[in-house]
């Protein structure tokens, strides 16, 4: 056997018994074959760097719910059969002079331009509607052309509102505004089509800049665009600010510029690897996976700080710098490997929730964490090795800012361990109550940027003409006649009436919206001919087997209110003998599937806690270690849930994700603490002495890593997306509580439970 291999055997034997399941061997192999590993790292880094120009973010919220269940399937089928109003662009016109003949004619020109837009398949506005043909066979505009006076315009608009239920949902009652809808061609929205459509609409509107009226654009495409732009902005800000804050924290800890650079390199490379891999595997980021860049950055920073702290301490104690790198891999990397495993478990637990969006987030996170570990045990040792050979000399001691609090904490653990342990256990038990009381909540506005102009416009439409959030009822037709028979039309009328009773007059569109024309003697053929083939397909399929009625809800309704409306509608349909009708819509889908996702994610969090504690027990080969880790690991989650319960925020989609990921990160500190404690016991330190030694040696690193984690995650709080900002806030709170648990509760529990640990490792003391 070659001498180099023989010299490596003791370390490999140590790794075999390590808590990292031998994964730290990757670091030892790196030191043994530095040139080969360096070549592989450079090649992979260049591959990932080449993907950076291809970065895109998919703002489609429907991707979040893809394959989530029957509500998603029903919604997709409805869109394929009828087309839905979810991709439509809404133009709100507000004017105190709307009845001015000149203004109304200008709006007619705008409606015509909208109809001729290259992305339009059809439009709906007071100007697109035509009255059925009379004896001369000619259809005429519902809003007459070339009116001479304001009174004439007002009379025409009021007549339209009173006699056409569909127009009642588009024209404001006091005639100070109206809404126009553009139905885009779905084929043209692929790729960057949606962005080009919005740009074209904004350019069109810009030509109608006049103090007499105000024109605003809203609707799902604009909401999606705002979400997309906010996500892109967040990705750049989070990564840049995370690196800067991490560097400053590392500089505070190591007190040298180059020391901070060394601690920053591995996290930066980790983010680059993750970005490149996401683009290669998934093709794009989503608003959820977009968070991962900041998350991986701070996790990698934390582990890099642990590694560098230990290496610096060994160097200060007189060990050769390169030998200190090797020894750090053996001592620290096993704990880093175990923390990576528990964090991966936390991510994978999210995958039990339905929906492609959550699944992609879970899988991306589960791939990203191992990449951060690989950067730690390959790139960082090589960087430290190169730095020492180039003459880098670390400072003699870490910053006093990180060590000043350790003596008071040691005194608290030594003298007050019993009351602290009792209070910790009591608080843990009491916080279980809000854990079981929290209820899932969901609101569509949570996904849109703060100060969204499109959302403000939608709310203005809500107040004026009824809302832009559609709820669909598909009605099976018995006679399969595209011209719809009297019996089938009666079914549509029944559904239309039910929806108007629940949502209000003028808030429903269906084939029965034109009864006033039927009463005037026009046939259904004449009416549908006046409506046009595009709008007719919104009411009845070409095959004549299904009809659809659409009710419009206010945008600001929460999931609870939406579910109540759905249940009321479903009960009324069944009572009318229309139990075969189905209810759908994006708001219906999100209201039901989001709550189901949240409940499943909560189950996943519980599973993650149990599995992680189990893995810790196996890794340390001790049920006592697993038991003692339960409270400091689970208590931060319960503390954050207590805040949610007291504040009334409830469990939201991002809430449970943030709790799960924060738990995975919080476990890291506990593992590093217990790893050092076990090593001290194996070195024949007594139980209490080992706890104090661990607190003294690991405490500063825990404080530094938590500072980096909180500083990096705090950046996320400033996101304009409420869900992302909430994610950051809850992560920071959970991590802070985890630090308190590891520096105050865990040492006290260890000392108070001395009987369990007196014979643990080494000699009984």
SS (H, E, C) 114-150: HHCCCCEEEEECCCCCEECCCCCCCCEECCCCCCCCH
Hey, which of 295-299, 562-566, 732-736 has the most confident mean pLDDT? 562-566
In this predicted structure, the answer to whether residue 45 has a pLDDT above a threshold of 90 is yes
Q: Which of 584, 580, 549, 581 is nearest to 565 (CA)?
A: 584
Helices and strands, counts by H and E, the chain: 32, 12
- Residue 144's pLDDT is 86
Q: Is 22 helix (H, G, I), strand (E, B) or coil?
A: coil
Instruction: Quote the CA–CA distance of 194 and 87 in Å, as a whole number.
Output: 10
> Mind listing the domains of the chain with CATH numbers?
3-59+224-444+591-757 (1.20.1640.10), 89-218 (no CATH)
In this predicted structure, the answer to whether residue 36 has a pLDDT above a threshold of 90 is yes
Pick the residue with more confidence: 124 or 445?
124
- Residue 7's pLDDT is 45
In this predicted structure, the answer to whether residue 568 has a pLDDT above a threshold of 80 is yes
Burial status of residue 467 (CB atoms within 10 A of its CB: 0-12, 13-18, 19 or more):
buried
Pick the residue with more confidence: 535 or 624?
624
In this predicted structure, the answer to whether residue 327 has a pLDDT above a threshold of 80 is yes
Residue 458: pLDDT band by 50, 70, 90 thresholds? low
Question: How confident is the model over 699-724, as pLDDT tens digits?
Answer: 887 887 787 777 777 777 877 777 77
Tell me which H or E stretch contains 89.
strand 89-94
CA gyration radius, the chain:
32
Hey, which of 131-135, 362-366, 409-413, 756-760 has the most confident mean pLDDT? 362-366
Among 278-287, 289-298, 374-383, the least confident range: 289-298
Among 270-279, 329-338, 392-401, 462-471, the least confident range: 392-401
- Residue 596's pLDDT is 81
In this predicted structure, the answer to whether residue 277 has a pLDDT above a threshold of 70 is yes
Among 71-75, 420-424, 752-756, the least confident range: 752-756
- Residue 312's pLDDT is 82
- Residue 511's pLDDT is 79
Give residue 594's Cα distance to chain centre.
12
- Residue 456's pLDDT is 66
CA distances for 667 relative to 100, 338, 613, 749, angstroms: 68, 10, 9, 16
Q: Are 708 and 250 in contact (CB under 8 A)?
A: yes
% of the chain beyond a pLDDT of 70:
85
Question: How confident is the model over 572-605, as pLDDT tens digits?
Answer: 999 999 888 999 888 888 888 888 888 887 888 8
Q: Find the length of the chain.
A: 765
Question: How confident is the model over 526-556, as pLDDT tens digits?
Answer: 666 666 666 777 788 888 888 888 888 887 7
Mean pLDDT of the chain: 81
Residue 217: pLDDT band by 50, 70, 90 thresholds? confident
- Residue 16's pLDDT is 46
Instruction: Quote the CA–CA distance of 430 and 519 in Å, as a whole number.
Output: 67
- Residue 360's pLDDT is 85
Region 171-185 average pLDDT: 86
Token reading at 256: 């040298």
Instruction: Quote the CA–CA distance of 70 and 72 in Å, as a whole number.
Output: 5
% of the chain beyond a pLDDT of 90:
13
Tokens 């923390």 belong to which residue? 339
pTM of the full structure? 0.73
């Amino acid at each position: 056997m070659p001498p180099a291999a023989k010299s490596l055997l003791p370390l490999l034997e140590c790794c075999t018994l390590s808590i990292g399941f031998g994964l730290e061997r990757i670091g030892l192999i790196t030191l043994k074959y530095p040139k080969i590993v360096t070549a592989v790292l450079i090649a992979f880094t260049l591959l990932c760097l080449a993907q950076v120009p291809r970065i895109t973010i998919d703002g489609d919220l429907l991707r979040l719910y893809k394959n989530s269940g029957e509500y998603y399937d029903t919604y997709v089928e409805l869109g394929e059969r009828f087309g839905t109003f979810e991709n439509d662009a809404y133009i709100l016109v507000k004017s105190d002079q709307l009845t001015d003949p000149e203004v109304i004619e200008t709006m007619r020109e705008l409606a015509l331009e909208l109809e001729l837009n290259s992305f339009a398949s059809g439009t709906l506005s007071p100007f697109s509607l035509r009255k059925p043909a009379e004896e001369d066979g000619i259809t005429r505009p519902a809003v007459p052309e070339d009116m001479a006076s304001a009174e004439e315009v007002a009379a025409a608009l009021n007549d339209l509102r009173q006699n056409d239920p569909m127009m009642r949902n588009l024209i404001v009652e006091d005639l100070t505004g109206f809404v126009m809808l553009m139905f885009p061609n779905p084929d043209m929205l692929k790729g960057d089509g949606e962005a080009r459509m919005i740009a074209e609409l904004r350019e069109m509107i810009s030509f109608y800049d006049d103090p007499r009226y105000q024109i605003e654009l809203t609707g799902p495409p604009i909401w999606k665009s705002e979400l997309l732009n906010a996500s892109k902005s967040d990705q750049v800000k989070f990564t840049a600010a995370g690196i800067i804050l991490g560097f400053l924290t590392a500089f505070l800890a190591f007190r040298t510029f180059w020391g901070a650079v060394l601690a920053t390199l591995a996290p930066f490379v980790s983010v680059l690897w993750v970005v490149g891999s996401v683009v290669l595997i998934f093709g794009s980021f989503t608003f959820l996976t977009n968070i991962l860049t900041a998350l991986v950055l701070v996790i990698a920073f934390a582990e890099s700080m642990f590694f560098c702290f230990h290496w610096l301490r060994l160097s200060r104690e007189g060990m050769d710098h390169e030998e200190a790198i090797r020894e750090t891999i053996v001592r620290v990397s096993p704990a880093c490997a175990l923390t990576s495993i528990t964090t991966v478990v936390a991510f994978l637990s999210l995958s039990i929730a339905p929906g492609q969006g959550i699944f992609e987030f879970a899988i991306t996170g589960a791939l990203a964490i191992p990449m951060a570990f690989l950067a730690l045990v390959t790139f960082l040792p090589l960087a430290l090795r190169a730095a020492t050979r180039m003459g880098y000399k670390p400072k003699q001691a870490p910053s006093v800012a990180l060590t000043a609090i350790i003596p008071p904490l040691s005194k608290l653990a030594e003298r007050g361990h019993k009351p602290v342990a009792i209070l910790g256990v009591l608080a843990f038990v009491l916080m279980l109550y809000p854990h079981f009381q929290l209820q899932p909540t969901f609101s569509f506005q949570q996904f849109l940027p703060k100060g969204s102009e499109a959302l403000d416009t939608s709310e203005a439409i809500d107040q004026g003409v009824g809302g832009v959030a559609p709820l669909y009822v598909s009605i099976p037709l018995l006679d399969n006649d595209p011209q719809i028979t009297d019996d089938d039309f009666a079914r549509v009328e029944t559904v239309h009436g039910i929806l108007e009773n629940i949502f209000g007059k003028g808030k429903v569109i269906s084939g029965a919206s034109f009864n006033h024309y039927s009463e005037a003697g026009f046939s259904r053929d004449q009416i549908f001919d006046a409506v046009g083939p595009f709008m007719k397909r919104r009411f009845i399929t070409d095959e004549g087997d299904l009809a659809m009625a659409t009710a419009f809800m206010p945008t600001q309704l929460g999931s609870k209110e939406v579910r109540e409306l759905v249940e009321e509608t479903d009960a009324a349909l069944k009572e009318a003998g229309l139990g075969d009708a189905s209810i759908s819509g994006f708001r219906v889908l999100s209201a039901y599937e989001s709550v189901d996702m949240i409940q499943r994610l909560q189950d996943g969090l519980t599973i993650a806690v149990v599995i992680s504690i189990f893995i810790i027990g196996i890794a340390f080969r001790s049920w006592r270690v697993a038991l003692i880790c339960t409270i400091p690991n689970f208590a931060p989650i319960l503390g954050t849930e207590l805040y949610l319960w007291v504040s009334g925020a409830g469990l939201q989609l991002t809430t449970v994700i943030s709790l799960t990921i924060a738990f995975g990160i919080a476990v890291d500190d506990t593992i590093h603490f217990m790893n050092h404690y076990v090593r001290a016991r194996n070195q024949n330190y007594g139980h209490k002495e080992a706890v104090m030694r661990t607190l003294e040696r690991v405490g500063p690193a825990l404080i530094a890593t938590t500072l980096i984690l909180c500083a990096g995650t705090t950046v996320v709080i400033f996101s304009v997306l409420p869900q992302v900002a909430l994610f950051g806030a809850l992560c920071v709170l959970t991590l802070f509580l985890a630090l308190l648990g590891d520096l105050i509760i865990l040492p006290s529990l260890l000392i108070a439970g001395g009987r369990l640990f007196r014979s643990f490792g080494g000699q009984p003391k």
